Every structure is written in C-alpha cells, then in structure tokens.
C-alpha cells in the first residue's frame, strides 16, 4: 500500500478483483482483508495512524491472526509426530 500512498481506490480495485476469484474459483468461503505495508511494517503489528491512512480503522494483521478460533483437539485421538528432518546412514 505504500507504493500507491494508501489509495482507497487501488485497495478497492484489488479487493473487487481478487475476492470473486478466491471465493468462486479457489472456494475460500471467508476472506479477511487487511491493507499493510510490509516494508515498513505498517498495520502488521501496530495500528495505522490517521495521518498515514484515514479510511481504514480495522484490526491489524496480527489482531486478525489472534482472533482465528483454535480448533478443538481430541486428547484421546491417535499420536501424531511430524517428521521435520531425516538422516541417511
């Protein structure tokens, strides 16, 4: 978003172009949209200031991650151990 100086028209264009593809073709039922600046870490962990972007007042990216519900675990389920690396003799 820093490349377009936090332009709402550009954000809306990207949202309106990509959202139908994600929901229709890829079959992702729910999509959360958060404008960020990855180079300067804006709106990733700290909220935007109104001087930077006056049209977005939603959550930061980390806030969205923290609101994702944790799936229930079955304590009586089978043991699963991920294999992270292997060695050859």
pLDDT in tens, the chain (89 residues): 888 889 999 999 999 999 999 999 999 998 999 999 988 889 999 999 999 999 999 999 999 999 999 989 888 999 888 888 888 87
- DSSP letter at 25? I
- Total number of residues shown for the chain: 89
pLDDT computed for residue 84 by the predictor: 86
pLDDT computed for residue 56 by the predictor: 94
Q: Which two tokens stand for residue 63?
A: 């806030």
Q: Which two tokens stand for residue 52?
A: 């930077």
């Amino acid at each position: 978003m820093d490349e377009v100086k936090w332009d709402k028209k550009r954000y809306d264009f990207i949202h309106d172009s990509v959202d139908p593809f994600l929901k229709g073709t890829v079959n992702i039922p729910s999509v959360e949209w958060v404008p960020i600046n990855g180079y300067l870490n804006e709106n990733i962990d700290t909220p935007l200031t109104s001087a930077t972007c006056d049209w977005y007042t939603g959550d930061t990216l980390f806030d969205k991650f923290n609101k994702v519900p944790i799936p229930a675990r079955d304590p009586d389920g089978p043991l699963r151990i991920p294999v992270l690396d292997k060695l050859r003799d």
